[in-house]
């Protein structure tokens, strides 16, 4: 696989909010070369105004919630319409889900399907079909903090059945993975319940050709995974800056992802660009920016943002530059090694390195006022290019022959951050073959 997994996607309601037209949304992601989207299953939704998010796609208007369970003939759902029957499936939901995953697949986009989410407040629990007030099955007359435990008043069988039905519906797709639960460190979610759901997924797809990877959300910011679940292949973190979580868990040899961003102030672009570059050059494998410019009324992502996060066309363009920079390397052969940097950056400046020693080096400088950078390089001939993270333009080039040891490069003038790529120089016919291969590379897995 030659792809990095990068996106800037909407607030997770593309499937469950039937008013959201996901075709132009997916087209916008594809136009930037993005290859990931994150969406919630429909077992959880939010009330209007939750978390001070305007035009929240996770807060469908009355009558627009689409979830796995079918409506009954009994009125009384908290957000309008009939209650749900937890023993029956909504065929229209599964048609929408499979159509969404299929449309994403046609555009080269992977779908992270989040099965469950804790109920942060009672207002969220009051909207869930699993709440006894919203179903005709007499199930779910419990507190919101008990829903994701192994003693949850009969809901476990309902949750297992939902997981099995979704896994079955998606068995023919190879562009999807399932996250057990969004932010399970809130709302009473237990490790035992998460392990149970992971095992349910494994059993449900045991006979499938395409076995979907399982993701587990570990923490906000960072945490060392001490006893990794053997069924889990992707470990997700939110707001992972600085990217401490990568260094803490790199030895697991699993995908480490920063799959939600936000809460970085009024600037909708810069802090998220910095977070993305830092995380991926530190050795992270996936970056999913939460982009609030996508709404029901603006499915192409041009809406003004009134929410605790970033997004918009400018940020997406800059994340596209990052994706193209990373994919300009054979990056799956590269490993993080900040010890390559031999000079000491000034206070407030960091320099991260992802490298294949002696062949290729991706360097990211976060912070202003750096004028020179010393790198430890083996003997050889090299080509260096300083790249603007804002425009993608090469600001300065340098070709040099090196006898080994520390080599000092002079930086061009820049503001905030800048990237550097260093490659071993290619010669003669080998250079022509390398250039031809690079230019024809589709970067498809």
- Residue 243, pLDDT score: 98
The structure's pTM equals 0.94
Tell me, yes or no, whether 281 and 337 share the same domain.
no
Domain that holds residue 397: 332-440
pLDDT at 158 over 90: yes
pLDDT at 439 over 90: no
Q: What is the DSSP string of 177-231?
A: EEEEESSTTSTT--HHHHHHHHHHHHHHTTT-SSPPPEEEEEEES----SS--TT
Tell me, yes or no, whether 322 and 368 share the same domain.
no
What confidence category does residue 143 fall into, taking pLDDT thresholds of 50, 70 and 90? very high
Question: How confident is the model over 227-258, as pLDDT tens digits?
Answer: 999 999 999 999 999 999 999 999 999 999 99
3 state DSSP class of 361: strand
Give the span between the Cα atoms of 239 and 222, in whole angstroms.
Answer: 9
Tell me, yes or no, whether 372 and 241 share the same domain.
no
Give the span between the Cα atoms of 342 and 125, in whole angstroms.
Answer: 53
Q: What are phi and psi of 34, to 5 degrees?
A: -70, 150
3 state DSSP class of 325: helix
Percent of the chain's residues with pLDDT above 70: 95
Token pair of 31, please?
Answer: 């136009």
Contact 13, 57 (CB under 8 A): yes
Question: How confident is the model over 271-300, as pLDDT tens digits?
Answer: 999 999 999 999 999 999 999 999 999 999
- Residue 316, pLDDT score: 98
In a domain, 395, yes or no: yes
Tell me, yes or no, whether 70 and 175 share the same domain.
yes
What is the arithmetic mean of pLDDT over 45-65?
A: 96
Stated as kind and residue range, the H or E segment containing 247 is helix 244-249
Tell me, yes or no, whether 25 and 166 share the same domain.
yes
Token pair of 235, please?
Answer: 């470990």
| N-to-C CA span, the chain | 4
Tell me, yes or no, whether 372 and 409 share the same domain.
yes
Tell me, yes or no, whether 182 and 317 share the same domain.
yes
- Examine the fold and report which residue of 301, 326, 351 is the final residue of a domain before the chain moves on: 326
Per-residue three-class SS string for the chain: CCCCEEEEECCCCCCCECCCCHHHHHHHHHHCCCCEEEEECCCCCCCCCHHHCCCCCCCCCCCCECCCEEEEEEECCCCCCEEEEEEEECHHHHHHHHHHHHHHHHCCCEEEEEEECCCCCHHHHCCCCCCHHHECCCCCCCCHHHCCCCCCCCHHHHHHHHHHHHHHHCCCCCCEEEEEECCCCCCCCCHHHHHHHHHHHHHHCCCCCCCCCEEEEEEECCCCCCCCCCCCCEEEEECCCCCHHHHHHHHHCCEEEEEECCCCCCCCCHHHHHHHHHHHHCCCCEEEEEECCCCCCCCCCCCCCCCCCECCHHHHHHHHHHHHHHCCCCHHHCEECHHHECCCCCCCCEEEEEEECCCEEEEEEECCCCCEEEEEECCEEEEEEEECCCCCCEEEEEEEEECCEEEEEECCCCCCEEEEEEEECCCHHHHHHHHHHHHHCCCCC
- Residue 427, pLDDT score: 61
With b meaning 16 or more CB within 10 Å and e meaning fewer, what string describes 409-418?
A: bebeebeebb
In a domain, 127, yes or no: yes
Tell me, yes or no, whether 250 and 362 share the same domain.
no
Question: How confident is the model over 330-352, as pLDDT tens digits?
Answer: 999 999 999 999 999 999 999 99
- Examine the fold and report which residue of 326, 358, 383 is the final residue of a domain before the chain moves on: 326
Tell me, yes or no, whether 26 and 166 share the same domain.
yes
Tell me, yes or no, whether 65 and 199 share the same domain.
yes
Question: How confident is the model over 303-319, as pLDDT tens digits?
Answer: 999 999 999 999 999 99
What confidence category does residue 426 fall into, taking pLDDT thresholds of 50, 70 and 90? confident
In a domain, 445, yes or no: no
Tell me, yes or no, whether 128 and 171 share the same domain.
yes
Angle CA 326–328–329, to nearest 5? 75
Contact 44, 116 (CB under 8 A): yes
Averaged pLDDT score across all residues of the chain? 94
Tell me, yes or no, whether 185 and 293 share the same domain.
yes
pLDDT at 114 over 70: yes
- Examine the fold and report which residue of 310, 326, 342 is the final residue of a domain before the chain moves on: 326
pLDDT at 441 over 70: no
- Residue 436, pLDDT score: 40
In a domain, 251, yes or no: yes
What is the arithmetic mean of pLDDT over 347-365?
A: 97
- Residue 172, pLDDT score: 95
What 8-state DSSP symbol labels residue 31? H
In a domain, 44, yes or no: yes
- Residue 3, pLDDT score: 66
As for how many domains the chain has, the answer is 2
Give the span between the Cα atoms of 394 and 176, in whole angstroms.
Answer: 35
């Amino acid at each position: 696989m030659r792809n990095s997994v990068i996106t800037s996607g909407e607030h997770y309601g593309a499937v469950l909010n039937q008013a959201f037209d996901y075709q132009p949304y997916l087209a916008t992601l594809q136009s930037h070369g993005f290859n990931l989207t994150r969406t919630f299953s429909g077992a959880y939704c939010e009330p209007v105004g939750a978390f001070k998010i305007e035009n929240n796609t996770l807060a469908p208007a009355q009558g627009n919630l689409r979830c796995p369970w079918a409506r009954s003939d009994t009125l009384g759902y908290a957000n309008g319409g009939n209650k749900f029957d937890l023993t029956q499936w909504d065929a229209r939901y599964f048609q929408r889900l499979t159509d969404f995953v299929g449309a994403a697949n046609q555009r080269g986009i992977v779908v992270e399907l989040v099965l469950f989410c804790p109920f942060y407040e009672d207002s969220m629990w009051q909207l869930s079909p699993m709440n006894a007030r919203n179903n005709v099955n007499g199930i779910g007359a419990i507190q919101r903090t008990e829903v994701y435990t192994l003693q949850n008043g009969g809901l476990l069988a309902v949750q297992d059945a939902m997981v099995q039905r979704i896994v079955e519906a998606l068995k023919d797709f190879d562009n999807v993975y399932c996250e057990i639960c969004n932010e399970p460190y809130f709302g009473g979610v237990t490790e035992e319940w998460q392990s149970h759901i992971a095992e349910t997924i494994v059993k449900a797809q045991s006979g499938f050709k395409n076995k979907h990877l399982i993701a587990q959300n570990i923490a906000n910011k960072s945490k060392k995974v001490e006893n990794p679940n053997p069924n889990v292949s992707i470990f997700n973190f939110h707001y992972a800056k600085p990217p401490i979580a990568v260094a803490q868990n790199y030895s697991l040899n699993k995908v480490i992802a920063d799959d939600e961003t936000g809460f970085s102030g009024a600037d909708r672009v810069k802090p998220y660009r910095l977070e993305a570059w830092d995380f991926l050059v530190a050795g992270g494998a996936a970056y999913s920016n939460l982009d609030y410019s996508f709404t029901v009324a603006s499915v192409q992502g041009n809406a003004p943002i009134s929410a605790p996060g970033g997004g918009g066309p400018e940020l997406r363009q800059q994340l596209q530059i990052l994706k193209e920079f990373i994919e300009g390397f054979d990056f799956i052969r590269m490993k993080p090694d900040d010890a390559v940097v031999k000079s000491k950056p000034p206070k407030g400046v960091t320099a991260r390195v992802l490298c294949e020693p002696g062949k290729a080096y991706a360097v990211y400088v976060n912070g202003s006022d750096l004028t020179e950078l010393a790198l430890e390089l083996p003997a050889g001939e090299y080509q260096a290019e300083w790249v603007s993270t804002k425009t993608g333009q090469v600001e300065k080039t340098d070709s040099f022959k090196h006898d080994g040891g520390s080599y000092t490069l002079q930086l061009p003038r820049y503001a905030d951050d800048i990237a550097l790529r260093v490659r071993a120089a290619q010669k003669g016919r080998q250079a022509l073959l390398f250039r031809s291969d690079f230019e024809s590379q589709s970067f498809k897995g």
